[in-house]
Amino acid sequence: MFYLLEVEDYIRVEPKHFGLPTQEAVEKQLNESYVGHVNKEFGHIISVVSVDSVTDGIIIPGDGAAFYRARFRILVWKAELGELVYGTINEITNFGAFMQIGPAQGMIHISQTMEDYVSLSKTGTLSGKASKRSLAKGDECMARIVAVSFKSGEPKIGLTMRQPGLGKIEWIKEDKKKRDAAAKALAKKAEKSEKKGGKK
């Protein structure tokens, strides 16, 4: 999920930025120090939206940089348990698929790709035995985040597509057509029995 966060922090501005106006120097340093990084508290830091205030700088003896207390806003993306995510399959393996979701990548174990017995086919797709459905690189899908782990650097994100309304976009559309057809048939049947009941 994307968030706009207001942060207050001490920023260590390197000497290479000293020729710039203070606000600009702080903004450049924030972009270098924050953007593209991931941490447990914020998630993936996408961009520095604005620098709202900067205090006078201080220099610490023995350190060539200057330190400024700044208040700024950042755009972040953080994986949340239970969140529905839209993404594109960017890798298929014999144990599952990897899906690009925003700035991160999530893993769908082979057992979580569909309600079927799934195996890796010779064409490099994951195929369902009974449904004949297949999942390939480039497919657009809806999934749910079921696990997030920050044990080593980049968070590991576990996904599932084995719930109603999830899976490859084509599957979701097919399932909706089937449900709509079944609902129409049921409504027709109910209408018929209502007419029969009225004739008596």
Beta-carbon contacts of 152 under 8 Å, excluding residues fewer than 6 positions away, are none
65, part of any domain: yes
In this predicted structure, what is the pLDDT of residue 105?
93
| Same domain, yes or no: 69 and 104 | no
Residue 80 contacts by C-beta under 8 Å, 6 or more apart in sequence?
Answer: 1, 145, 148
Residue 18 within any structural domain of the chain: yes
Question: What single letter denotes the amino acid at residue 113?
Answer: T
pLDDT value of residue 102:
86
Number of domains in the chain: 2
Q: From CA 39, how far away is CA 81, in angstroms rounded?
A: 16
Residue 193 inside a domain? The answer is no
pLDDT of residue 27: 94
C-alpha–C-alpha distance, residues 100 and 1, integer Å:
14
User: Among all chains, which residue has been given the structure tokens 């996904």?
Assistant: 159
pTM: 0.77
Q: Which two tokens stand for residue 50?
A: 């604005």
Which residues in the chain show pLDDT less than 50?
none
Residue 12: CATH number of its domain: 3.30.1490.120
Q: Which of 77, 102, 133 marks a domain boundary?
A: 77
Q: Write down the pLDDT at residue 6.
A: 95
* Dihedral angle of Cα 41, 45, 50, 52, to the nearest 10 degrees: 20
27: closest CA among 50, 6, 5, 45?
50
Residue 140 tokens read as 């657009």
Closest CA to 86 of 139, 146, 155, 154: 139
pLDDT of residue 138: 96
Whether residue 110 sits in one domain with residue 129 = yes
User: Residue 15 is encoded by which pair of tokens?
Assistant: 């000497």
- Output the pLDDT for position 40: 83
Tell me which residue range forms the domain holding 49.
2-77
The enclosing domain of 142 has a CATH number of 2.40.50.140
C-beta of residue 128 within 8 angstroms of C-beta of residue 118: yes
Distance CA 60, CA 19 (A): 19
> Counting every residue, how long is the chain?
200
pLDDT digits (tens, 9 = 90+) for 141-196: 999 999 998 777 778 999 999 998 999 999 999 989 988 898 998 988 888 887 77
Of 77, 104, 138, which closes a domain? 77
Based on the fold, state whether residues 61 and 121 are members of the same structural domain. Answer: no
Interatomic CA distance for residues 119 and 99, integer angstroms: 18
Task: Quote the pLDDT of residue 198.
Answer: 60
- Are 71 and 90 in a shared domain? no
Is there a single domain that holds both residue 113 and residue 57? Answer: no
**What pLDDT shows up at residue 193?**
80
Regarding whether 96 and 12 lie in a shared domain, the answer is no
The reported pLDDT for the residue numbered 199 is 58
What is the torsion angle, in degrees rounded to the nearest 10, for the CA atoms of residue 154, residue 49, residue 75 and residue 64? 30
Residues 104 and 167 in one domain: yes
Q: What's the confidence (pLDDT) of residue 155?
A: 84
